[in-house]
A = this chain, B = another copy of it.
Amino acid sequence: MKKNCIVAQSGGPTAAINASLAGIIAAAKEDDSFDKIYGSINGIQGVIRKAFLEFSTRDDAFLSALAKTPAMYLGSCRFRLPTAEEDPSVYEKIFSVFDEYDVGAFFYIGGNDSMDTVAKLAAYGEKIGSEVRICGCPKTIDNDLVETDHTPGFGSAAKYVANTVREIAYDTYIYDVNSVTIVEIMGRDAGWLTAASALARTKNSPAPHLIYLPELPFDKDAFIEKVRALLPLYRNVIVCVSEGIRAADGSYFSATQAVEDKFGHAQLSGVGHYLEYYVKEQLSVKVRSIELNVLQRCAGHITSKADLDEALLLGRATVAHASAGETAFMTCLNRVSDDPYKCEIASVPVDKVANMAKPVPRSMISENGDDVTEEMIRYLKPLIAGEVPIAYENGVCDYLPVEHLL
């Protein structure tokens, strides 16, 4: 007997998360286990509020446009479920909605925090003997989920970073004066996305000259000496830093701090501005800092085909695993080879993923800590491969309207 299913999205936006949503909808439409497909608005909170869209009748044209629309078609939430011991009422509510809507499976697309929700719901469901399959589908631009080779959304963000850093390099090369450019890249605790800046390099374009990840302590004095040594060699030195780099004592660098040192407390911005300020003071050269900001996670106009294809397949696989009776899992990617690139899709118990984080291993960071290794390049390269043609209308990307979020 057919059951309905609910899909929701959670955490930060990516350029690929709607491809996973499209994959889930497409597979659920084809699957004999499922009848109606509900999309929950604003993550698990939409289930609690019964704020649903119905996807069952959407056609292929919709799904194709959906897969190329960045951010999150269903909206997000930053809601962390209490434990069932702390507050059973929220679980009772959610499972009563599952009953009311005759739900056979709940699909949650997200990162570590979202997998915590999946794990908690699955544990509660098991306790009460629920047959609703609780399923996780991975995404995050941070690429810090364990038990998967990489995460959908990361490849497109990495492609944006690589292309943008190359373009920033071209922009700096034009002037015949010494300059330092600091590019601040997302990733508070994991340096994967900052590492992707290395893909900007070509035989003739050496930038970025320095890359600093949050996995190692950042020594600002050693950094200044490095830049001082590079300036006569390259004239325009480009430095990519993770927003989360910390000093040996674990403290963050921020413009706040730069200002605080002299003037007291101010809430301004991050490490990019801090280093801009610091390099200017120490080396008296032209310095610019550029924060890639949200553009790196939602640039639907430049996505990785490899990424969007995998995001869609992971969405489909999540439905297939649920349909086969599996629950309390997250679908994942296991890399078979780098070149030719091949990944296989599998699943892992979600409690092995929830709340865990995968930092960049030491072997992918250069010995002196200011670059990545060839192993990292081999790992990254296939993830940004291929381009996705986008529909434009009047010169602007023609994304699906999201009026239900406004």
Contacts and interface: CB of A to CB of B under 8 A. Distances in A.
A164 interface: yes
A294 interface: yes
A173 B294 contact: no
Nearest to A281: B267
Contacts of A45: 176
A295 B300 contact: no
B263 A175 contact: no
B70 A167 contact: yes
A141 B214 CA distance: 36
A304 B395 contact: yes
Contacts of A75: 173-176
A270 to B, nearest CB: 11
Contacts of A77: 175-176
A349 to B, nearest CB: 28
A384 interface: yes
A267 B263 contact: no
Nearest to A387: B392
A295 B167 contact: yes
A104 to B, nearest CB: 27
A304 B394 CA distance: 11
A318 interface: no
A268 interface: yes
B267 A268 contact: no
A399 B171 CA distance: 12
A262 B202 CA distance: 46
Contact of A204 (B163, B234, B291, B401): B401
Please indicate which of the listed interface residues A234, A259, A304 has the most CB atoms of chain B within 10 Å of its own CB: A259
A335 interface: no
Contacts of A255: 268
A301 B163 contact: yes
Interface residues of A, number: 75
B402 A395 contact: no
Interface string A320-361: 000000000000000000000000000000000000000000
A396 B380 CA distance: 12
Contacts of A166: 396-397, 399
A221 B162 CA distance: 40
A280 interface: yes
A308 interface: no
A174 B295 contact: no
A44 to B, nearest CB: 12
A3 interface: no
A163 B397 contact: yes
A42 interface: yes
A402 B294 contact: no
B304 A302 contact: no
A264 B199 CA distance: 41
Nearest to A265: B263
A290 B299 CA distance: 14
B171 A13 contact: yes
A187 B71 CA distance: 28
B263 A259 contact: yes
A76 interface: yes
Contacts of A280: 267
Given A42-B175, A167-B295, A290-B291, 11 more contacts: A76-B175, A77-B176, A164-B295, A164-B299, A166-B399, A171-B294, A173-B406, A259-B266, A384-B395, A384-B396, A387-B395
6 contacts: A71-B167, A170-B300, A204-B401, A234-B406, A235-B406, A263-B266
Closest 7 CB pairs between A and B? Answer: A263-B263, A204-B401, A384-B395, A71-B170, A171-B298, A76-B174, A72-B174
